[in-house]
DNA sequence: CGCGAGCTTGAGGCGATTCAACTGTCGTGG
DNA sequence: CCACGACAGTTGAATCGCCTCAAGCTCGCG
């Protein structure tokens, strides 16, 4: 099973592009094969700050594999993660550097695909497909910020963790990176803590609790949501609504669905 | 002193427009006088949800007086306030209703000025002044969301309150609505609680503490920051940085400055 | 006057933090 | 080959910040 997910992760771009077509109404040229992809993509190693020359700030990059985040380091050296950037998410450098304190950081080895290579159209601001794409990127980014504000606002640690896991599930599912109810989550508990505003120790305790209650399974970088409906109730996560916002790509019959 | 502030609040638009000129590079036509203003402005009473017909979503409204917020009501009936909207802030309806759950709400009687009435230029997307204005509105809105995420992330209740008050001060100062170190704050402690993710009771205790330590004064809808530098250290609030982002309008010599 | 909205204060309890120690798993180098 | 350190995860005990529940206060207003 693990091998299957990894293969999905690295190879299948169709669901990702299908998701773009469904949500942004953008047609993608022929998807590049694996060899082409590796040449076209930008690669970052874990821990590197993502930068682009100022002249290129208008570009739209999409994450093909790996995870990144937006973060800020406080004066005391504590890190606040504003937003996790997962496969299928856009990286909009123009939006990123309005403020020197906030930076984009690769959390794992990262592969970024420049949309210029795969989208038809003149990529001018006037081109409708390109504008739809940029608008979609902005919309999803903003939605993510509000969701995170909701998590940090009135939720307990227990609810925050459950909510974040459901969030990850929905996003990765939309781009075909969920196998059944399991998906790869290459984040440390410290990263989760820095995002959720709780301590590493407490994240661990909450995860233990979720495991003992049979709600999730978690081992070696993979998470399984065993009872998503129960999790959604705990976290007040609106499964319906999420589906509207991020429409998954069209699936074949009998594929692995999240049967709730 | 109170009367003076109220006068400032209702009458003087020059600092507000000066702030726009400094930050967005947008020239304003002749500022309307008070009578004109009342006719031009949109008025909302406290508690009303702000709506605009869908066809008008592209418009930019600026708050002339009163406060509003972006909020969401959770399933349990708890309110999360994402963002306070103060005089000088923009209301971008296009950005607001990408999601049915999040609404704009007037917290006090509200007066909104449509920028079409005061900005030169064709207000087409292609007009550079109009584009700068829209970009400025988006930038400040986004910055506010990140600031609030920072508050909710790793700060204690004590730090959150101090940080929010400094934030209000900087914003209102930029549009000339601070008299010395005092400004009008027509928000209830419950609203602060709903924004800061802590309970009403605890907000009250924190305010008591700040008062007893001689850091703030607070009475009848007015706040005074008595020792802003001490507050800034408590809250890790970057006074320098804030000044860069929101440039106050040009001041006469010997005006009330925040001497830190 | 009575009422409601907003503010204030106390007592008790729980959730999350802090500090600390221990485990297991890597990759590296003696 | 094992020793070693670095890193991620795990667990316990004590402490504290914040919440809950509850009561009383002070206004402004019909």
A191 pLDDT more than 90: yes
Q: Check A143 against B80: CB less than 8 A apart.
A: no
Any A CB within 8 A of B256 CB:
no
Contact at CB, B150 and A80, closer than 8 angstroms: yes
Q: Does A132 lie at the interface with B, CB-CB under 8 angstroms?
A: no
How confident is the model at residue B257, as a pLDDT? 46
pLDDT in tens, B187-228: 999 999 999 999 999 999 999 999 999 999 998 899 999 999
Half-sphere exposure of A155 (CA within 13 A, CB side): 25
A6-10, A210-214, B9-13: range with highest mean pLDDT: A210-214
Q: What is the average pLDDT across B67-71? A: 96
* B154–A78 CB contact, under 8 Å: yes
Please write the tens of the pLDDT for every residue from A202-240. 999 999 999 999 999 998 899 999 999 999 999 989 877
CA B102 to chain A, closest CA, distance in angstroms equals 9
Asked whether the predicted pLDDT for residue A4 surpasses 90, the reply is no
For residues B242 and A110, the model is more confident at A110
What is the distance between the alpha carbons of residues B85 and B93, in angstroms, rounded to a whole number? 13
- Does position A181 have pLDDT exceeding 50, yes or no? yes
CB contact under 8 A, A98 and B142: yes
Pick B33 or A151 by higher pLDDT. A151
pLDDT tens, residue by residue, A137-160: 988 999 999 999 999 999 999 999
Residue A146 has φ and ψ, to the nearest 5°, of -65, -40
CA separation, residue A176 to residues A147, A199, B170 (Å) = 22, 32, 46
Q: Which chain B positions have a beta carbon within 8 Å of A74's beta carbon?
A: 150, 154, 236
Distance CA A258, CA B206 (A): 45
For residue A18, is pLDDT > 70? yes
Q: What pLDDT, on a 0 to 100 scale, did the predictor assign at position A2?
A: 42
- Residues of chain A in contact with residue B197, where contact means CB-CB under 8 angstroms, are 152-154
Q: Crossing angle of helices A128-154/A189-196, nearest 10°? A: 90
pLDDT at B4: 44
Contacts of B122 (CB under 8 A, 6+ apart): B130
Q: What is the 3-state secondary structure (H, E, C) of chain B?
A: CHHHHHHHHHHCCHHHHHHHHHHHCCCECCCCCHHHHHHHCEEECCCCECCCCHHHCCCEEEEEECCEEEEEECCCCCEEEEEEECCCCEEEHHHHCCCCCCEEEECCCEEEEEHHHCECCCCCCCCHHHHHHHHHHHHHHHHHHHHHHHHHHHCCHHHHHHHHHHHHHHHHHHCCCCECCEEECCCCHHHHHHHHCCCHHHHHHHHHHHHHCCCEEEECCEEEECCHHHHHHHHCCCHHHHHHHCCCCCCCCCCCCCCC
**Distance D6 C1' – A166 CA (angstroms):** 32
pLDDT tens by residue, B91-115: 977 665 555 588 999 999 999 998 8
φ/ψ (deg, to 5) at B42: -90, 135
| pLDDT, position B187 | 97
Report chain A's mean pLDDT, rounded to a whole number: 83
Contacts of B246 in chain A (CB under 8 A): none
Model confidence pLDDT, tens digit, residues A91-118? 977 665 555 588 999 999 999 998 888 8
Q: Do B98 and A197 touch (CB under 8 A)?
A: no
Q: Which of B95, B102, B197 sits opposite A153 (nearest CB)?
A: B197
pLDDT, tens digit, 9 for 90 and up, residues B145-164: 999 999 999 999 999 999 99
* A121 CA → D15 C1’, Å: 62
Highest mean pLDDT among A23-37, B47-61, B101-115, B239-253: B101-115
pLDDT at B259: 42
* pTM above threshold 0.95: no
pLDDT recorded at residue A200: 97
pLDDT of residue A246: 56
Residue B254 has pLDDT above 70, yes or no: no
- Average of per-residue pLDDT across A49-78: 85
């Amino acid at each position: 099973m693990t091998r299957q997910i990894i293969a999905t992760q690295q190879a299948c771009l169709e669901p990702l592009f299908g998701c773009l077509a469904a949500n942004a109404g953008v047609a993608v040229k022929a998807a590049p094969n694996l060899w082409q992809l590796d040449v076209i993509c930008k690669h970052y190693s874990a821990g590197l700050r993502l930068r682009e020359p100022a002249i290129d700030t208008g570009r739209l990059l999409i994450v093909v594999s790996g995870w990144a985040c937006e973060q800020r380091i406080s004066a005391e050296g504590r890190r606040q993660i504003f937003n996790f950037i997962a496969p299928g998410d856009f990286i909009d450098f123009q939006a990123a550097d309005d403020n020197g304190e906030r930076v984009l950081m690769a959390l794992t080895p990262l592969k970024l695909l420049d949309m210029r290579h795969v989208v038809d159209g003149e990529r001018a601001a006037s081109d409708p497909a390109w504008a739809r794409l940029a608008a979609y990127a902005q919309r999803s980014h903003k939605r993510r910020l509000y969701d995170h504000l909701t998590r940090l606002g009135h939720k307990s640690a227990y609810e925050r963790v459950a909510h974040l896991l459901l969030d990850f599930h929905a996003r990765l599912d939309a781009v075909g990176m969920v196998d059944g109810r399991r998906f790869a989550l290459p984040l440390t508990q410290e990263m989760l803590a820095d995002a959720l505003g709780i301590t590493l120790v407490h994240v661990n305790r909450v995860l233990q609790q979720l495991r003992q209650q049979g709600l999730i399974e978690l081992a070696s970088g993979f998470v399984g949501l065993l009872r998503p409906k129960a999790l959604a109730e705990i976290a007040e996560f609106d499964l319906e609504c999420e589906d509207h916002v991020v429409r998954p790509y069209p699936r074949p019959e009998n594929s692995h669905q999240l049967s709730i």
